[in-house]
Amino acid sequence: MTEQFDAVDVIRTKRDGGELSPAQIAWVVDAYTRGAVAEEQMSALAMAVFLRGMGREEIARWTDAMIASGERMDFSSLVGSGARSATADKHSTGGVGDKITLPLAPLVAAHGVAVPQLSGRGLGHTGGTLDKLESIPGWRAALSNEEMLAQLRDVGAVICAAGSGLAPADRKLYALRDVTGTVESIPLIASSIMSKKIAEGTQSLVLDVKVGSGAFMKDLASARELARTMVDLGADAGVRTSALLTDMSTPLGLTVGNAVEVQESVDVLAGGGPADVVELTVALAAEMLEASGITGVDPADALRDGRAMDVWRAMIAAQGGDPDAPLPRARESETVVAGADGVLAELDAYRVGLASWRLGAGRARKEDPVQAGAGVVLHAKPGDRVRAGAPLLTLLTDTPERFARAREALEGAVVVAREHGGRPEPASGGRGVVLETVR
């Protein structure tokens, strides 16, 4: 087959700061997916994009080309048949203790909206939604498109793995970016996320863009740029899209891991749970419901009256899980205590996530197994008073030889400030979890 372009010419165009044409973009994404563009050539192009950037139209074309590499899902029959009032989805850019998808999907579904939540596994210090749910005995992540549609019709919510037919170009390019130092490129992050979400076929999408030490975006300016880019991509594709910028300077909730985060999610669905997890769950639910045309309701009511819990139990059971089964527990534990009296001023999200990963809750490579019971339990959050010798963190693992490296990861993670007539603000400056909204 004679190729339309030469990969080297495409690389040179972007290397020299030029704009890739629609035809160049369509060709290079397709040719890379089918193997006509070599890995080292796409590596060079990804680095050129990382260094030179892309304009709005380029990013939109790149996203379209990624979508065109695979199938597009269609949930319109759910709305057309009256089974559900609308379809809505949420995506998080990844954080530490970020179990929000677990209570959020059933909470939104409890209001009659179908929530097709295609999720992933953890890699590095950020946890994966599927890893968390797989700690529930019997639960399975792999569903066919037909099974997804049936579950959305009957239950209203599904959390599962994306099929191999959805944006295969992204799957291949994501793995390449991970080993070439180009993960942090905003055009490549935005097109990666939005190609899958647009191909998924949902009517509206709410993005949770994390900001802080435990997130890919460390500062508000870069988080705003990523959020704006993704919201524009959604609008260009006809998907109603908005983004919440949310704090990830400290872990969400009081648990980081897999089974421990499932238990905390169940606590939220039962009307309890940590205040920051409830705040973000309700804020995202309200945004998803508004995008679906549902206003004048307080999503928290469905947490208090048990409707969201009913959907959770049905969702877990529909995927083979036992919602009443005991969750796995780690065989070993070790406690980190406060060294002095004072106020916990900082608890660094990245370092806590790294410790959880080293304890066995995460993976360094896609094929690595995870421990269901491993992780970290927090006994205090920034702003809390602590006493010398009081527990701050409990480390959990099945393999006690991991404790030493986990403790190393936590060096500098905890800052206890002495009180001198006033209570110091936490590192976040006393803000709530939600920092800004981008529409």
430 in any annotated domain = no
The catalytic residue among 92, 185, 192, 265 is: 192
Q: Which of 268, 301, 325 is the last residue of a domain?
A: 325
64 in any annotated domain = no
pLDDT value for 356:
97
Looking at the fold, whether 257 and 240 belong to one and the same domain comes out as yes
The catalytic residue among 131, 170, 247, 276 is: 170
Q: What is the CATH number of the domain that holds 36?
A: 1.20.970.10
- Sheet with 86-92: strands ordered across: 157-161, 113-119, 86-92, 204-211, 240-247, 434-438
Looking at the fold, whether 294 and 339 belong to one and the same domain comes out as no
pLDDT value for 163:
83
Q: What is the CATH number of the domain that holds 108?
A: 3.40.1030.10
pTM of the model: 0.93
Q: Which residues contact 374 (CB under 8 A, 6 or more apart)?
A: 257, 258, 330, 356, 359, 360, 361, 396, 397, 398, 402
pLDDT value for 321:
98
Q: Which H helix or E strand runs over 46?
A: helix 39-52
Number of domains in the chain: 3
Backbone angles phi, psi at 275, to 5 degrees: -60, -40
Q: Which of 325, 348, 363 is the last residue of a domain?
A: 325
Looking at the fold, whether 217 and 232 belong to one and the same domain comes out as yes
Mean pLDDT per 10-residue interval, the chain, length 439 residues:
91 98 97 96 97 96 96 92 93 95 98 94 80 97 95 97 89 88 92 94 96 93 97 95 97 98 98 97 98 96 98 98 98 96 96 96 81 97 96 98 98 88 48 90
pLDDT value for 426:
47
390 in any annotated domain = yes
**Please, is 310 exposed, middle or buried when counting C-beta atoms within 10 Å of its C-beta (0-12, 13-18, 19+)?**
middle
Buried b (16+ CB within 10 A) or exposed e, 382-394: bbeebeeeeebbb
The catalytic residue among 177, 197, 224, 313 is: 177
pLDDT value for 79:
93
Backbone angles phi, psi at 2, to 5 degrees: -85, 125
Q: Which amino acid, 281?
A: T
Looking at the fold, whether 101 and 196 belong to one and the same domain comes out as yes
Looking at the fold, whether 269 and 289 belong to one and the same domain comes out as yes
433 in any annotated domain = no
The catalytic residue among 196, 197, 210, 402 is: 196
431 in any annotated domain = no
Instruction: Provide DSSP, 288-353.
Output: HHHHTT--S--THHHHHSSHHHHHHHHHHHHTT--TTSPPP--SEEEEEE-SSSEEEEEE-HHHHH
pLDDT value for 315:
98
Q: Which of 325, 348, 372 is the last residue of a domain?
A: 325
| Catalytic status, residue 170 | yes
Looking at the fold, whether 17 and 135 belong to one and the same domain comes out as no
pLDDT value for 71:
94
pLDDT value for 431:
61
Looking at the fold, whether 301 and 412 belong to one and the same domain comes out as no
Three-state DSSP at 395 gives strand
Q: How many helices (H) and strands (E) does the chain have?
A: 17, 13
| Catalytic status, residue 331 | no
The catalytic residue among 14, 84, 90, 91 is: 91
122: left (phi over 0), alpha (psi -120 to 50) or beta: beta
Looking at the fold, whether 157 and 278 belong to one and the same domain comes out as yes
Looking at the fold, whether 340 and 250 belong to one and the same domain comes out as no
Looking at the fold, whether 88 and 179 belong to one and the same domain comes out as yes
436 in any annotated domain = no
1 in any annotated domain = no
What domain range is 43 assigned to?
7-53
Looking at the fold, whether 43 and 158 belong to one and the same domain comes out as no
Q: What is the CATH number of the domain that holds 366?
A: 3.90.1170.30
pLDDT value for 123:
66
216 in any annotated domain = yes
| Catalytic status, residue 398 | no
Looking at the fold, whether 337 and 310 belong to one and the same domain comes out as no
| Catalytic status, residue 192 | yes
| Catalytic status, residue 177 | yes
Residue 237, token pair as written in the block: 């594709």
